[in-house]
Amino acid sequence: MSSDAEYDVDLFVIGAGSGGVRAARMAAAAGARVAIAEDRYLGGTCVNVGCVPKKLYSYAAHFHDSFDDAAGFGWHLDSPATFDWPTLRDNKTSEIKRLNGIYQRMLEGAGVTLFNARARVANAHTVTLTTADGEVNVSAEKILLATGGWPWVPEFPGSDLALNSNQVFDLDTFPKRFLVLGGGYIAVEFASIFNGLGSETHLIYRGDLLLKGFDQEVREFTRDEMAKKGVNLHFSTNIARIEQLPEGSLKVELTTGEILEVDAVLSATGRKANITGLGIESLGIALNDEGKLSVNERYETQVPSILALGDLTAGPELTPVALAEAMQLVDIHFHKKAPRPLDYATIPTAVFCHPNIGTVGLSEEAARDEFPKIRVYRTDFRAMKHTLSGSQERMLMKLIVDDASDVVVGAHMVGEEAGELIQGIAIAVRAGLTKEDFDRTIGIHPTGAEEFVTMRTPSRY
């Protein structure tokens, strides 16, 4: 690249994932000369091996319950429903290819120069690209690291036989027996997905309950609902070893001595910052105690011309967080606005296990630590739909209120489409509305959601 300016570009973005693409496009729209490097797939983790394929598979898995539920409403399938894995997998792949194309066109349309290459930082203002034709250096006034995370699998005998979340989407054959190691949101989502698609499913977790950090009652309720749907939950244990049997299946020995025979093992045991070969150590940029890159409120690392955002940095590992950070970063560096730090305390999130979880704000436990007195409003019930479907699935809804100010500081739900529902509640929680505001809101009848505005008596203080 050549230019009369001091640097080839104003901004060089490494990684065309959620945060990188948004930052590149918005900076280009602000008039900056922008280049971006991506060595794997446009759209990053979310589009290719995260949110998008996972949600498509979750939809597929929900049909299982829908077919069962339909009979009570008079619908009968002439023969039992069957599931074809290659159809789902290949349709998912076509959709992702379509999205990859959209990302490419968005970048080109914004005037961003795209390099299909692995990038590393050579110095505070130079990026080295490794291409088929050799190495190319591009100088940049600012470099943005947006390389995201990478799955981490613990080492144990036979751990190389376990899949990580990047690999599980494209299995050649559908695993009739499936085992997930881990208790975080990715683990519970995949356990629900494969269980719903028809696998005999086991979840192995070394802790005593899944979804650490979520509201305790939500965790217990989810455990019970997942177990009701047939997921075999094994807590306070771990995998001791995995062995491949001659006919191809996997013999998994747990630390409790129990032996399970399955067709696939997924290790959903966490993610680490994706900095391999990025060259930042030589510049004095190191990971902090949490294994993340530290940035200031301007998203600058210890080297001010090198910025970072998204999963590489602290904060929830969520696509909308990476997008919001990208827009903040562009406002600060290319629109010269003062930093307006994001409100990380009221970021809503969903877990697409079955049934779904939707949550925003503080858990009951965190609220008890933070406020002298709280009020907890909670209800659980069988949704109207299931009076005829015969399903025993229940729904949990919960509001946490700071007693002194009456402000709703947390809202939690386990139930169908919880993510869709909690998004609206999140606006109210983010805005700091009171329980009285909730009470004065008229419900929508008949819905499950109306419970959020009709719970009047505290269940406990």
Enzyme catalytic residues: 445
- Cβ pair 38, 332 in contact under 8 A: no
- How many residues bind to ligand FAD according to rule CB under 6 A? 34
As beta bridge partners, residue 377 has 399
**Member of 38, 215, 217, 225 binding ligand FAD (CB under 6 A):** 38
Q: Which two structure tokens, joined as six digits, stand for 191? A: 């356990």
Q: Does 54 contact ligand FAD by CB under 6 A?
A: yes
- Cβ pair 58, 418 in contact under 8 A: no
- Cβ pair 379, 456 in contact under 8 A: no
Q: Strands 200-205 and 349-351, how do they pair? A: unpaired
SS3 324: helix
Q: Which stretch binds ligand FAD (CB under 6 A): 8-16, 199-207, 254-262, 408-416?
A: 8-16
Closest to ligand FAD by CB, 182 vs 448, is 182
**Member of 28, 239, 306, 322 binding ligand FAD (CB under 6 A):** 322
User: Which of 329, 323, 273 shows the shortest CA–CA distance to 298?
Assistant: 329
Measure the CA–CA gap between 355 and 178, rounded to whole angstroms: 19
Measure the CA–CA gap between 319 and 316, rounded to whole angstroms: 9
Measure the CA–CA gap between 58 and 415, rounded to whole angstroms: 14
Q: Strands 232-235 and 239-244, how do they pair? A: unpaired
Q: Strands 408-414 and 395-402, how do they pair? A: antiparallel
Site string for ligand FAD, 247-286 (x = CB under 6 A): ---------------------------x---x--------
Q: Strands 134-145 and 9-14, how do they pair? A: parallel
Measure the CA–CA gap between 424 and 427, rounded to whole angstroms: 6
Site string for ligand FAD, 121-160 (x = CB under 6 A): -------------------------xxx------------
Site string for ligand FAD, 214-253 (x = CB under 6 A): ----------------------------------------
Number of residues written out for the chain: 461
Q: Does 45 contact ligand FAD by CB under 6 A?
A: yes
Q: Does 13 contact ligand FAD by CB under 6 A?
A: no
**Shortest distance (Å) from residue 147 CB to ligand FAD:** 3
**Member of 9, 11, 16, 265 binding ligand FAD (CB under 6 A):** 16
**Member of 158, 207, 320, 458 binding ligand FAD (CB under 6 A):** 320
**Shortest distance (Å) from residue 191 CB to ligand FAD:** 13
Q: Does 358 contact ligand FAD by CB under 6 A?
A: no
User: Which residues of the shown chain bind ligand FAD in the complex (CB under 6 A)?
Assistant: 14-20, 37-41, 44-46, 50-51, 54, 118-119, 146-148, 165, 186, 274, 278, 310-311, 317-320, 322
